[in-house]
Amino acid sequence: MATLLAWMVLMLFLCQPGLAQDKRQYLVLVTSSSPVLAERFRAGCEAVAEELKIACNVVSALPGPPEGIAAIESFISKGGSGIVLQVYGGDLAYVEVLKKARDMGVPTVIASTSLIEAASPLAEVAISIVGVDAETFVSKISDAIKADGAKDAAFCLLGFEQTPSPLKLAYGALTQKLEAAGAKRSDACPEALAFQGSFEQTLFSGVQKLLAEQDVRFVILPFRADSSYIDGLKQIAAEAGRSTVFVSAWASPFELSRTGTLTLYKAQQGERVEPSQPIQPTIQISTGAFCESCDCKTDTECKESCAECN
């Protein structure tokens, strides 16, 4: 159903005779299959749209890059003003069409839902990359480990075999930095999880096998794990007799979109923009509910969603 709806939105967008020119038009292209992610990106753009007097055109590129490329082609041919492209690990399929957009005077900001380094192959065609930098990520995770107080606690940062190569390299660098910060990587931690069925099945079976082999205190999930995932993982740990803490860390899609939109606008106003713009990662720790563990001061999603912040 989500794919069908995304197709309908994309077709409506592509079939428009032209973009209204009373406002500057921005395309926010979401390459993830998550409808929730797309809505968060929409909210981030619309949060500043009225103030900046722009219009947000949010499109989900499903089922893959060809549809996203077609949306960009259509957008720039109709006089669009700027593009915010959400990527996960850097998708080189978009390089050529973004070069074309750049040559036509339509700038792009890359919004990386993983790490800034992971999107670097697209840096040549973007005016800026927004995301979480590795140093901040490691610092936040290290703080969570230190706050737990467990001595000689092992950790495992989980990735997947199908993860794009740039992101795999970034995960490897993260592991090294966590070890340098004093954390100990579990001997049983797999290099990567091979997909077996759905994402949920792969994650759960991988953690089940990991905890059966070793008492891993921290399992780090470098992506957003919603409450159903966290609850399922906690149940797996309990059945294995482990007191494992699951730490989910990701870049807020709302903040990525908001920052990306503002960056486009500033650049087109002649203001200088930084080529790399780190944002604070959102951290969720399984020992407490999201609103108990997120940071009201730095996390936009936390401020919006949690009554404790108001």
Structure tokens at 308: 């404790």
Q: 174 and 93 share a domain?
A: no
* Residues 246, 256 within the same domain: no
Give 148's contacts (C-beta < 8 A, 6+ positions apart).
Answer: 217, 218, 245, 287
Residues 6 and 123 in one domain: yes
What was the pLDDT predicted at 299?
A: 62
Same structural domain, 110 and 189 = no
288 domain residue, yes or no: no
Q: Which residue has the tokens 């002649």?
A: 270
C-alpha span between 54 and 183 (Å, rounded): 46
Residue 269 lies in a domain: yes
Are residues 141 and 236 both part of a single domain? yes
Do 242 and 261 share a structural domain?
Answer: no
Specify the number of domains making up the chain.
2
| Residue numbers in the chain where pLDDT is lower than 50 | 1-2, 4-9, 11-12, 14
The pLDDT value recorded for residue 34 is 73
Q: Which helix (DSSP H) or strand (DSSP E) does residue 78 occupy?
A: none
Residue 102 falls inside a structural domain: yes
The pLDDT tens digits of the residues spanning 125-154 come to 999 999 888 788 888 888 877 777 776 788
- Examine the domain organization and report whether 123 and 196 are in the same domain: no
Residue 40 shares a structural domain with residue 149:
no
Same domain, 115 and 260: yes
Q: Where are the beta strands (DSSP E) in the chain?
A: 24-30, 54-60, 82-87, 108-115, 128-132, 154-157, 184-185, 218-221, 245-250, 276-278, 282-285
CA 27 to CA 59: how far, in whole Å?
7
CATH number at residue 46: 3.40.50.2300
Say if residue 157 is exposed, middle or buried (CB neighbours under 10 Å; 0-12, 13-18, 19+): buried
Judge if 125 and 63 occupy the same domain: yes
The verdict on residue 301 lying in a domain is no
Could you tell me how many residues make up the chain? 310
- Establish how many alpha carbons lie within 13 A of residue 4's alpha carbon, considering only the half-sphere containing its beta carbon: 1
The answer to whether the predicted template modeling score (pTM) of the entire model surpasses 0.95 is no
Query: What CA–CA distance (Å, rounded) separates 126 from 106?
Result: 10
What's the confidence (pLDDT) of residue 97?
94
Are both 55 and 168 inside the same structural domain? no
Per-residue pLDDT, 4: 47
Give me the domain span that covers residue 7. Answer: 2-131+252-279
Is 232 inside any structural domain?
yes
Please report which helix (H) or strand (E) contains residue 2, including its range: helix 2-14
Single-letter residue type at 283: I
Q: Are residues 257 and 126 in the same domain?
A: yes
Residue 221 domain-assigned (yes or no) = yes
How many other CB atoms are found less than 10 A from the CB of residue 100?
A: 16
The pLDDT of residue 12 is 47
Within-domain flag for 290: no
End-to-end CA distance of the chain: 36
In a domain, 265, yes or no: yes
